[in-house]
Amino acid sequence: MKKIGIGIFLLFGICANAQMATDANTNTKNMFSIFYQEKQYKKIENTQVPIDVLRQASFKYTGFALNKAYSSGEGEYKLMLKKQNKFVNAVFKSNGEFIKEVTN
């Protein structure tokens, strides 16, 4: 009888541990998908880019020309800049603050 009790206890412990591991993996996956949501950018005319953004972009990327411009609904601008055969994508806040350089 003692062996059956220990067997049930071990089985219960293994099942509970497996359920906790499954929950932990699910939560991690859900947290990752919540935090890693790429912003959606909409193509805009180059003339719609704020002057502060253009000023910072021209200072940081001297010699590059504005090829295409995109805007997010959150006040960020992604600029595709071109210099000869080299392309750079840079993201700025609407006040001109540089956020990051994006690779394709």
For 30-65, write each residue's pLDDT tens digit: 554 445 457 899 999 999 999 999 999 999 999 999
pTM across the whole model:
0.62
Split at pLDDT 50, 70, 90, the class of 28 is low
Which H or E run contains 70?
strand 65-72
Q: 27 or 16, which is more confident? A: 27
pLDDT for position 48: 96
